[in-house]
Amino acid sequence: MNEQYAKFDPRAGNDGRPHDYSKHYTMIEDRSDILNCMLQETEKIETVSTKDDSLAPETCPFKATVEILKLWCAEHWLSESWLVTCAEETSTNKSQITELRCTFQALEIELKSQLVLKQSLEATLTETEGRYCAQLSEIQVVISSVEIQVQQIRDDMECQNSEYELLLDIKIHLENEIEVYRRLLDGEGR
């Protein structure tokens, strides 16, 4: 992604390196100095020509020159201020691009750390699910074993209950027989 950005970087020249506008700064400063000097000189000439009424524009070439210089200075001052504005905007744009680039890199780093965290949490979840399934399987084995034991106990109790019922029936039958023999013995003995 950074390669794509560098490829289409509006600040970059044909060779891919950023444009260097620093050489224009000195030229702008030089022009500004020249314009200031010219304006000062034209103001001096204008001051002298306005004090002396004998220097009419038709008779004094200085006044016409002053007007021409004023126009030239104004035009160049406007183009110079435009260059200064462009240079300032370029500087502002550079700082904004640098700031955005830093923000982008910070967000990219944050995204990578969040992805690593997500992978770590997914691995932990998978491990926890594996342990849970193993424990659940062990518990199901224990429950099955206990259910088998409970069923055996029930079967044993039913068998013991049947034997008890049979023994109780035999006891009752024997007690009845004993009672019959006693009566018989008691009846003979009389």
> b/e map of 67-82 (b: 16 or more CB within 10 Å)?
eebeeebeeebeebee
Check: CB of residue 18 under 8 Å from CB of residue 12.
yes
- Run means of pLDDT, 10 residues per run, the chain, 190 residues: 49 56 58 63 63 54 61 62 74 89 95 96 96 96 96 95 95 94 80
Identity (one letter) of the amino acid at 55? L
> b/e map of 152-169 (b: 16 or more CB within 10 Å)?
eeeeeeeeeeeeeeeeee
Model pLDDT, residue 103 = 95
For 31, counting Cβ atoms within 10 Å of its Cβ (0-12 exposed, 13-18 middle, 19+ buried), the class is middle
* CA distances to 13, 94, 103, 110 from 99, in Å: 21, 8, 6, 16
3-state secondary structure of 3: helix
Model pLDDT, residue 140 = 96
**Residue 187 region by backbone torsions, left for phi larger than 0, else alpha for psi between -120 and 50, else beta:** alpha
User: What is the distance of C-alpha 108 from the center of its chain?
Assistant: 8
3-state secondary structure of 169: helix
Q: What are the residue boundaries of the structural domains of the chain, listed by start? A: 2-138
Model pLDDT, residue 130 = 95
